[in-house]
A and B are shown apart, each in its own frame.
Chain A
């Protein structure tokens, strides 16, 4: 049976809906020995900031029940070093490359980042990381405020025609409202969820296990929250959704697609089994065949309620 796994994120066409999430896949080169990277639907890079960034103190990660906490603090080589040292490898893969970007102090940094990336043909899309819980701007996270979200997306929209993805935070009262703001401001898609704010304590030392105290929780422990949020956003906006949060296998990816995600991102699972994403891709094909579905698009938002 012939199946069609291609999906669209605005004007961006993906051969299949399986992507890898920002911050969990480095700059892809780290995974070259384990899989055929060209088979991925798209790659989202580790977040890039304008200037090189050292990130947060160690320890930066710890294991939790069914997941992990991290507070890397967006360590990255900065935009120019990224373009010089990391982008050439990504360009050669000839699959959609999505660059995740973040501001450090001023939201205006997004404009500089985007205007520079806008000139690079191989950049398929830009993901605005306005939701990293480990880098708090002076007014908290942009993604925690619908108006700030609207403002930044709108300004970025003015300077690029590339596909714009806005990455949303689950650490909000109503993720639907923030998603709606992103849509109204011209975002082509939304991706969710970023990590949930969390803590873990070493009771002997009475200290947080992560040096910076509060960190971001990821992994299957957060999946039900993520699925619920995708469902909520799906009911609220018309733009495509990239769903993520604890995807470990094809079934967990399908949960997101069924509640409305057009594509899914594999995150923390990459640390445990580097080829999880491609195993999920095979699993999705098998699911379609087993259920006699030819187009994966038929499944998007197909939840029976």
Chain B
């Protein structure tokens, strides 16, 4: 699959809530070939500070547009928020290997999506593809578990619902839904349902992914985890983002960022 480097025009830049922003880009080649779980590598400035690009997962695509959902975590993302509609961003993408999901007309394996914090970003894209499969199939609904610090930090709840997903919520402080970690909610739900044939797709902070991996491995449920690693080149050249797997070191930017839980070594 081909990767592109292009100047993408910003079509919209919106603050969603708190530190979270949504940015829509005109990036035809990227939009046309992106798959859920893949990312783009963005150069946020023209000078040397910040020096490296920033990898951000693709949130959604539509026609010639690709959008990202990002959190301000440092200087680079702060600069990104200052870019306005009409500005251009130097973008490389789509990059990496995304989620492996059932294609239409194949058997639906009862997907369970688990998102922690910003982990919702790539899972919306995936949910869109999964619900396409479901519309042609049975009544099985994509189940989405969303975790956040508190009610105010919850993201994309309505978006998942609009796609027809069944949404369950977990908050650390109990201000909405289940009180506790989203991985604990997952554990609880698995004790109440027949999870054979289920596939878990998860994205979020590392401790959450580790917990999801343990839960799924214990029950022998297939789980695909999207890892967030520090990257330098994003195109597989520098070997800076490698993660440990049972089959040796793998590049998060090339063989990942999505890995099977059963293959990872923590």
> A residues near B, CB below 8 A?
23-26, 30-31, 33-34, 46, 54-55, 58-68, 70, 72, 75, 219-220, 248, 270-275
Q: Contacts A24-B237, A272-B43, A272-B51 given: A54-B249 contact, CB under 8 Å?
A: yes
In the assembled complex, the Cα of A31 lies from the Cα of B243 at a distance in Å of 22
Contact check, A271 vs B233: say whether CB atoms are below 8 A apart: yes
Task: Say which residue of B51, B52, B235, B240 sits within 8 Å of A72 (CB atoms).
Answer: B240
Known interface pairs A33-B2, A54-B249; A274-B239 also in contact (CB < 8 Å): no
Query: A48 to B13, alpha carbons, bound, how many Å?
Result: 45
What A residues does B236 contact at CB under 8 A? Answer: 26, 30
Residue B212 CB within 8 A of the other chain: no
Q: Which of B49, B53, B233 contacts A66 (CB 8 A)?
A: B49
Max chain B C-beta neighbours (<10 A), residue from A72, A272, A273, A275: A272
Question: Can you list 14 pairs linking A and B with CB atoms under 8 Å apart?
Answer: A31-B237, A34-B92, A46-B239, A54-B248, A58-B229, A59-B230, A60-B240, A61-B230, A68-B232, A72-B239, A72-B240, A75-B239, A220-B48, A271-B237
A23→B229 CA distance, assembly (Å)? 20
The winner among B235, B238, B243 for most chain A CB atoms within 10 A is: B238
Chain B residues in 8 Å Cβ range of A60: 239-242
Provide the residues of chain B in CB contact with A274, threshold 8 Å. Answer: 5, 92, 235
A75 & B242 in contact (Cβ 8 Å cutoff):
yes
Which residues of B are found within 8 Å of A271, using beta-carbon distances?
Answer: 52-53, 232-234, 237-238
Q: Is the C-beta of B50 less than 8 angstroms from some C-beta in chain A? A: yes
Chain A: interface secondary structure? loop
Instruction: With CB as the reference atom, state the residue of chain A lying closest to B252.
Output: A58
Residues of A within 8 A of B233 (CB): 30, 270-271
| B-chain residues with CB within 8 Å of residue A26 when the two chains form the complex | 236-238
Q: Is the CB of A63 within 8 A of B51?
A: yes
Top 8 A-B pairs, shortest CB-CB distance: A61-B240, A26-B237, A271-B233, A30-B237, A61-B232, A33-B3, A30-B236, A60-B240
Cβ distance A180 to chain B, nearest Cβ, rounded Å: 32
**Residues in A whose Cβ lies below 8 Å from that of B263:** none
User: In the complex, what distance in Å separates the CA atom of A68 from the CA atom of B240?
Assistant: 11
Answer yes or no: B172 CB below 8 A from chain A CBs. no
CA distance A262 to B232 in the complex (A): 29
- In the complex, which residues of chain B have a beta carbon less than 8 angstroms from the beta carbon of A68? 51-52, 232
Which chain B residues border A64 with CB–CB below 8 Å? Answer: 51
The 0/1 profile, CB within 8 Å of A marked 1, for residues 228-266 of chain B is: 011011111111111100001100000000000000000
Closest-by-CB residue of A relative to B76 is A63
Q: Does B90 contact A (CB under 8 A)?
A: yes
Q: Kindly list chain A residues whose C-beta atoms are within 8 Å of the C-beta of B240.
A: 59-61, 70, 72
Whether A272 lies near B53 (C-beta < 8 A) is yes
Known contacts A61-B230, A75-B249: A30-B235 contact under CB 8 Å: yes
Chain B residues 56 to 103 lying within 8 A of chain A, measured CB to CB, are: 90, 92
Q: How far is A24 from B50 in the complex, measured between Cα atoms in Å?
A: 19
B49 contacts A65, CB within 8 Å?
A: yes
A271, B233: Cα distance in complex, Å: 4
Known: A54-B248, A55-B249. A34 touches B51 (CB 8 A): no
Decide yes or no: A62 and B230 within 8 Å by CB, A33-B4, A220-B48, A273-B43 being known contacts: yes
A271 to chain B, nearest CB (A): 4
Give the CA-CA distance A55 to B53 in the complex, in Å. 24
- Chain A residue numbers with a CB within 8 Å of B229 are 58
Report the minimal beta-carbon distance from A205 to chain B, rounded to whole angstroms. Answer: 14
